[in-house]
């Protein structure tokens, strides 16, 4: 597969890249999931593993003079205004019929490459998002060469963003996710300034701690805000992908930072969720800290390797 013109044109306008870092990331210090607070504190890689200090990742500070920070803030304002329980159910009705198109995993990567889609919710990078999938996959491949399913998960984890090419607004595709139908978690970014016009905050049930859920019901039984995580998870289940359950957890919850980084929603988790959080945190190391505007992978050179993994775990055309 040729990951085509748009990516090549973007690459040709950039200065010559440095060699990508190859240092091994440190091991996660695993502890009681209920006391895990901040992924950037818990998962500190060695300085050579990232292209900037880890404390500078996920900087959601407000600065109206900074165009990227303001772009991110406004996107979350839209998200937190419009992502209601009823809105999410409407997206289920729209997208979970899987009748938008048929295509292979590589077809979707090609389309995202050609579109040049950038993630307007991300304060860390401002390049076509398709690069990030390869950066994540290659980071995993260096340190988990025996886990092909994990590498493939890194490659595809964001391709649910294909919804943005079907007129879905970015606030319904990108960014951190949260549970709808209950009280919003306290560690959600811009939590205190962005939900004022969301009607669920005044709902007699949705505004309570447990909302529509039973305590410790398990994350498999909650309704997440709508975005690329949930969509791709549902696509893979519908098409009977051969990925293990750990991969599906990573895909469904990798943007659920209020849970895996903030420690929120533990009252809804069961023991399985707490065990699976270790895999989500391991994935987060690569999802977050391999991001770079400069060390861009040669996607065409890598395609044949990842095509083999696609053929093994998610072959053929899928219904999207």
203 annotated binding-site participant: no
121 annotated binding-site participant: yes
**pLDDT of 74 strictly over 80:** yes
255 annotated binding-site participant: yes
pLDDT in tens, 1-36: 455 444 444 444 343 333 333 333 333 333 333 333
By C-alpha distance, which of 154, 119, 118 is closest to 139? 154
304 annotated binding-site participant: no
Mean per-residue pLDDT, 219-231: 98
Region of poorest pLDDT, from 70-74, 209-213, 214-218, 286-290: 286-290
80 annotated binding-site participant: no
pLDDT value at residue 38? 41
pLDDT value at residue 58? 62
pLDDT value at residue 68? 83
Plot region of 244 (φ>0 → left; ψ -120 to 50 → alpha; else → beta): beta
175 annotated binding-site participant: yes
pLDDT band for position 294 (cuts 50, 70, 90): low
By C-alpha distance, which of 131, 127, 120 is closest to 69? 120
pLDDT in tens, 136-149: 999 999 999 999 99
d(CA 139, CA 24): 9
Mean per-residue pLDDT, 70-95: 97
pLDDT above 70 covers a percentage of the chain that reads 75
- Provide the b/e sequence for 104-143 (b: ≥16 CB within 10 Å): bbbbbbbbbbbbebbbbbbbbbebbbbbbbbbbbbbbbbb
pLDDT in tens, 84-125: 999 999 999 999 999 999 999 999 999 998 886 775 655 555
132 annotated binding-site participant: yes
d(CA 197, CA 203): 12
CB within 8 Å of 74: residues ≥ 6 apart: none
pLDDT in tens, 42-68: 444 443 445 555 555 566 677 788 888
How far does CA 135 lie from the centroid of its chain?
Answer: 13
Pick the more confident residue, 135 or 42: 135
pLDDT value at residue 119? 59
pLDDT band for position 297 (cuts 50, 70, 90): low
pLDDT value at residue 299? 79
CB within 8 Å of 178: residues ≥ 6 apart: 83, 184, 185, 188, 224, 225, 256, 258
210 HSE (CA, 13 A, CB side): 10
176 annotated binding-site participant: yes
pLDDT value at residue 28? 36
**pLDDT of 255 strictly over 50:** yes
Region of poorest pLDDT, from 257-266, 276-285, 292-301, 305-314: 292-301
pLDDT value at residue 293? 59
pLDDT in tens, 167-220: 999 999 999 999 999 999 999 999 999 999 999 999 999 999 999 999 999 999
181 annotated binding-site participant: no
pLDDT band for position 300 (cuts 50, 70, 90): confident
- Mean pLDDT (the chain) is 83
228 annotated binding-site participant: yes
């Amino acid at each position: 597969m040729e990951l085509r013109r748009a990516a090549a044109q973007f690459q040709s306008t950039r200065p010559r890249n440095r060699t990508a870092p190859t240092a091994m990331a440190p091991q996660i210090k695993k502890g009681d999931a209920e006391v895990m607070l901040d992924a950037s504190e818990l998962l500190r890689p060695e300085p050579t593993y990232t292209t900037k200090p880890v404390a500078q990742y996920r900087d959601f500070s407000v600065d109206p003079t900074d165009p990227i920070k303001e772009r991110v803030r406004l996107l979350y304002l839209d998200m937190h205004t419009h992502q209601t329980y009823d809105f999410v159910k409407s997206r289920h009705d729209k997208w979970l019929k899987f009748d938008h198109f048929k295509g292979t995993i590589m077809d979707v990567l090609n389309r995202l490459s050609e579109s040049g889609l950038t993630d307007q919710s991300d304060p860390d990078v401002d390049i076509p998002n398709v690069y990030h999938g390869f950066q994540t996959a290659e980071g995993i491949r260096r340190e988990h060469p025996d886990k092909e399913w994990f590498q493939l998960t890194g490659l595809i984890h964001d391709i649910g963003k294909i919804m943005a090419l079907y007129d879905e607004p970015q606030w319904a595709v990108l960014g951190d996710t949260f549970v709808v139908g209950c009280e919003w978690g306290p560690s959600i970014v811009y939590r205190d300034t962005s939900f004022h016009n969301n009607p669920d905050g005044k709902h007699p049930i949705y505004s309570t701690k447990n909302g529509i859920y039973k305590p410790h019901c398990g994350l498999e039984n909650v309704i997440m805000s709508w975005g690329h995580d949930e969509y791709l998870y549902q696509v893979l289940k519908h098409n009977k992908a051969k990925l293990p359950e750990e991969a599906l957890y990573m895909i469904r919850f990798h943007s659920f930072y209020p849970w895996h980084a903030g420690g929120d929603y533990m009252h809804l988790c069961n023991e399985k969720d707490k065990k699976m959080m270790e895999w989500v945190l391991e994935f987060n190391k690569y999802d977050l800290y391999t991001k770079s505007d400069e060390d861009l992978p040669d996607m065409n050179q890598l395609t044949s390797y990842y095509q083999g993994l696609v053929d093994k775990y998610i072959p053929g055309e899928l219904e999207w």
